[in-house]
Structure 1
């Protein structure tokens, strides 16, 4: 199966009409709307990762990349256990979105979720959405949900470049299958020969997502901690069916198969690692191969070598893997394991795949000791001190600082909920915060459960997150790549900034258990931006705030009429159908 891809990218040679990522399962391939080849050359001109500020004046290629997504229910068995799932174009994982930096991406979404009916919305993880804040895809914040049998077209700019993913932001739908990879090609970061493409790392649950949400947002603490059943690499892994008791209708086979990756001896390969899971922190490694990190989230970094990469949910890391000439004819095990020692809750933590040269055969290789040690003991990101962005930027002094405390407790009705500054978030699907702000209505809190922080005209915002509890949280901020000033256990000393002249930047960072995270960002993107834990169950249980940024300027946004129409459509649907919103809504 083939699809038309981009040609003559600066990142390597790509031939029109060929699949640029032959190691990906065919489920990923976007065939309904093939990408139109660009002319020869670099559409971003003379911009490089070293000399160009990626946040100002992105290129405008004038090219529209169109995709058509139909969301429906179906059955899948990627690890051998058959289950009900939510699918896009009948695919799991969902289709690849691929574009050039500066392109316009259009995704037309048809909501055909029935039996029962559900709304939906899709989020484009990590993109800034400058000028298209209403296309961020978060119901109750940037839009009303797309109602059943409804259609909505997202139109937004590929305003950053690198590796990311898209996913539903309606309840925990993405755990049920609504997610897929996103690649935006841009200036060269480092030299390599072969772009292997996305490597999706996902913990995997056999129960349907709605039943899981019912359990994790409940009054029974014993149900709150739901273990994943398996772990997948690019949608594949075996599951040991003998470990479970099957009912009369359940189907399970223990030899579903694993993903395979063909490498070429003597060549350097680029792998685009994505943690698209629900709860688990991933530790990635390839036996016998060193990894050179070249990007984290949408930020190119000065390369450094390692044998294991840690990815919290929502994080991406691009690595280069040099294949020695002597590896010809050999096979090796690729590993991604869910971090142990209470860090991730799982039944089967280890996902494997096969890296082979020339002829595929079962490998018999040994994991790096550093990988085993990290899986067993490190429930945090790799040290931020080893990361410096290729394009250096120094934070300006903050004009305001907000302290936020994370907590977990029962509310008055006995439900176990996560809070940020003692408030557990709950979305109002019918009144999106950004659309209200665009009409000049920014007198929050209109409802305390919305947990809106109005930062007014502040130009540089610092947020100190304290996490005294036993769980680590991958914190994600929409609309920005933030500076990671410091992170650690205990309490922040109030002064330390790691790599102060050029700190790490990314859009998702883990705050460790019994620890803290200090982030900062320039308030240059007026909008209503979610800041939340990316563990699906934690944001379902309210671990969320909205950063309201430059509200006076939001009123100048030209919001297209389709946004109001979607809200009218949603209102018409809910007028005759009661939504059972059992969680925060996100």
Structure 2
């Protein structure tokens, strides 16, 4: 099948082909370059201001150097983002209501070396209708910069329409991550992009092919989906994704379109590799709801990092990623049954973990001299068993390369997840009986600066004061999975199962697995622990966009008296003055939790 991109080189074909309506072609041109044969590769690090040892971090041993203690490079990486509405057609179906960064989907790649400062000026041009916005830098700890975490009602007011805000924070950990909107479910409309921090490598490889973003894709506007899933109408609530994309690409079957929306052929993402070389793939589940199972036909994959934690490598054929999770993977390609054109695949789990109309995303892998236009005919590995557990790989497989012994917790809490229907007929998720509701005009961090620690119940705030390490026991009394993500930290994941935790069993207490996102099973248990070494107010929530909109969120406050008070008032003013003025003259249609 020809894609719209195939017609760009020929004006005549563009004018005469019914396979690529001009509006679809224009919208497809906004898809970013990763996943094209001209994409290039990522470097081992950005080459300016290196320290002795030939790298920006010097000559260190990643086995013995704490990855949470960055060097000071003296370098600032500056980016300028304008967020606006625009049409999108990554799979050929024209979506008029996408949200773009600099006219692009997904957004531009942010790159930095470990220890660099990252500075991003964000200008909100989302109009027709107007919306606030904010960007969160997923997995970065924001040590000493909690006000730049990018969560409206917590670390800032929303960036008002027409206003700008500049985030500035250190790349304090290294590896593969992403950034995304934390304003309602805007990320599901396209407001996200990859973020790569280069650091010391504990494994050898030849080339880094860059981010491989795996996403479910919805043709409806995110705002309408939020309305649907919060209703008490089960027909509306069961909102399957329409497609599954790899780096923003995957042809959609236009014969499925019955409403007259323009739809045309779309390209697959493509990658070219050489046999005999070893490549790094930076896998990112940047979707709204779907678990992704990634594989390359006939290939062995070696997982070397989960989220922003290097691990002891282990081999697999399928990489499991719930929403928000990342894995760095190495593979050395080989021909399959003599062919050098191979399918790369990502599969959304079926009826239990996420409903998907087209759950199978594919991209084309070309080895050595295979023709650019070759369509693979290779066979997929058997699909994972959809047994309803929606589980990550066994915790025992994820052994951090830099070892940390589990400290004794100074306090323990239990959180129970439930669903309710409130008095107005909206379906909500609760954590310990309360769904979260944001107050955009009163950020928690600003109130904490004023030593105001008394908040409404619906702000779901737990103040752990000066405790040193908190253990959190979570029971999911609901039928859905929940990829739980913590801000400002990574977490020791101590237990994961369908059986009730016995109160003592911990996986590898001498060096437990660490990551910033882990999947809580349906009707299952999860135990995590984190160190209170970063004063601030930190969200802990499900990363499924619709569940977060439905209130599955709590705030974890730590050492509020030690929050750096020297800059909070001016940071709050930068967003809150403009937002308060905007919201005083405009009705803000906050139909969900707000985050």
Length-normalised TM-score, structure 1: 0.91
Give the paired residue count: 554
**1:72 partnered with 2:81:** no
User: Alpha-carbon deviation of 1:326?
Assistant: 8.7
Question: 2:583 aligned with 1:574, yes or no?
Answer: yes
Distance 1:493 1:145, change over 3 A: same
Distance 1:22 1:93, change over 3 A: closer
Structure-2 separation of matches of 1:569 and 1:470: 41
CA distance 1:309–1:211, change in 2 (3 Å): same
Within the candidate set 301, 305, 315, 1:291 is matched to: 301
Local SS of the residue matching 1:462? strand
1:15 maps to what in 2? none
Q: Aligned residue for 1:191? A: 204
Q: Distance in 2 between matches of 1:557 and 1:391?
A: 34
Q: Is the 8 A contact 2:165 2:574 kept in 1?
A: no
Does 2:540 match 1:528?
Answer: no
Q: Deviation string for 1:207-258 (max 9, x for gaps)?
A: 01111111112232332221100000000001112123123xx1012x3111
Q: Is the 8 A contact 1:285 1:335 kept in 2?
A: yes
Matched ranges for 1:277-288 at <5 A? 277-288=287-298
Contact preservation (8 Å) 2:152, 2:183: yes
Post-superposition Cα deviations, 1:287-317, rounded to whole Å, max 9, x if no partner, equal 0110000000000000000000110000000
Match of 1:485 among 482, 494, 497: 494
Cα RMSD of the aligned pairs, angstroms, is 2.0
Instruction: State the shift of 1:25 in Å.
Output: 4.4
CA contact (8 A) 1:28 1:93 kept: no
CA–CA separation in structure 2 for the residues paired with 1:109 and 1:237 = 29
Shift of 1:345: 1.1
- Measure the CA separation in 1 of the matches of 2:201 and 2:176: 13
Give yes or no for the alignment of 1:387 onto 2:388: no
CA distance in 2, matches of 1:164, 1:398: 28
Match of 1:335 in 2: 345
Aligned 1:153-552 pairs, distance under 5 A: 153-247=166-260, 250-253=261-264, 255-324=265-334, 330-357=340-367, 358-359=369-370, 360=372, 361-369=374-382, 372-374=383-385, 379-443=390-454, 446-552=455-561
What's the CA shift for 1:144? Answer: 0.4
Aligned 8 A contact 1:24 1:197 in 2: no
| Counterpart Cα distance in 2 of 1:565 and 1:330 | 54
In 2, distance between residues paired with 1:267 and 1:293? 17
Task: Give the conservation status (yes or no) of the 8 Å contact 1:131–1:557.
Answer: no
For the residue of structure 1 that corresponds to 2:203, the secondary structure is coil
Structure 1 residues 214 and 325 mapped into 2: Cα distance closer, same or farther (>3 Å)?
closer
Q: Match of 1:119?
A: 132
Closer/same/farther in 2, CA of residues 272 and 560 from structure 1, 3 Å limit: farther
Question: CA separation of 1:195/1:374 partners in 2, compared to 1, >3 Å: closer, same or farther?
Answer: farther
Q: Return the offset for 1:275.
A: 0.3
3-state DSSP class of the match of 1:123? strand
Cα 1:25–1:153 change in 2 (3 A) is farther
* Distance in 2 separating the partners of 1:239 and 1:316: 25
Residue 10 of structure 2 corresponds to which residue in structure 1? none
Shift of 1:499: 1.2
Change (3 A) 1:275 1:28: farther
C-alpha contact 1:283 1:375 (8 A) present in aligned 2: no
Q: Secondary structure at the match of 2:81?
A: strand
Q: Aligned partners of 1:251 and 1:376: how far apart in 2?
A: 38
- Give 1:559 deviation, angstroms: 2.1
CA contact (8 A) 1:533 1:539 kept: yes
Distance 1:259 1:481 in 2: 32
C-alpha distance 221-71 of structure 1, shift in aligned 2 (>3 A): same
Tell me, yes or no, if the aligned pair for 2:398 and 2:513 is still in contact at 8 Å. yes
In the aligned structure 1, how far is the partner of 2:569 from the partner of 2:553? 27
**CA deviation digits over 1:166-188, x for unaligned, max 9?**
00000000101100000000001
Q: Which runs of 5+ in 1 are unaligned?
A: 1-20
Mapped to 2, the partners of 1:179 and 1:328 lie a distance apart of 38
Specify every segment of 5 or more residues in structure 2 that has no aligned partner in the other structure, as ranges: 1-31
Output aligned runs, 1:81-100, within 5 Å.
81-83=93-95, 84-100=97-113
Checking the alignment, whether the CA contact within 8 Å between 2:336 and 2:342 is kept in structure 1 is no
| Cα distance in 1, alignment partners of residues 182 and 335 from structure 2 | 45
In the TM superposition, what is the alpha-carbon distance from 1:494 to its structure 2 partner? Answer: 0.7
Q: Which deviations, in whole Å up to 9, do the C-alpha atoms of 1:363-383 show, x marking residues without a partner?
A: 1111123xx134676621111
Displacement after TM superposition at 1:560 (Å): 5.9
Aligned to 1:11: none
What SS does the aligned partner of 1:437 have?
A: helix
> Which stretch of the first structure deviates more once superposed, 293-302 or 323-332?
323-332
Pair 1:53–1:553, CA change in 2 (3 A):
same
Q: CA, structure 1 residues 328+561, in 2 after alignment: closer, same or farther (shift >3 Å)?
A: farther
Does structure 2 retain, via aligned residues, the 8 Å contact 1:125–1:166?
yes
Q: SS of the counterpart of 2:239?
A: coil
**8 A Cα contact 2:40 2:209, kept in partner:** no
User: For each residue in 1:504-550, what CA deviation from the matched residue of structure 2 results, as whole angstroms up to 9, or x when unmatched?
Assistant: 00000001011111000111011100000000000000000000111
- Select the residue among 147, 150, 161 that pairs with 1:134: 147
* CA distance, structure 2, for counterparts of residue 537 and residue 153 of structure 1: 28
DSSP 3-state at the match of 2:574:
helix
TM-score (norm 2): 0.90
Decide whether aligned partners of structure 1 residues 529 and 403 sit closer, same or farther in structure 2, where only a CA change above 3 A counts. same
Map Cα deviations across residues 127-152 of structure 1 (whole Å, 9 max, x no partner): 00000000000000000010000011
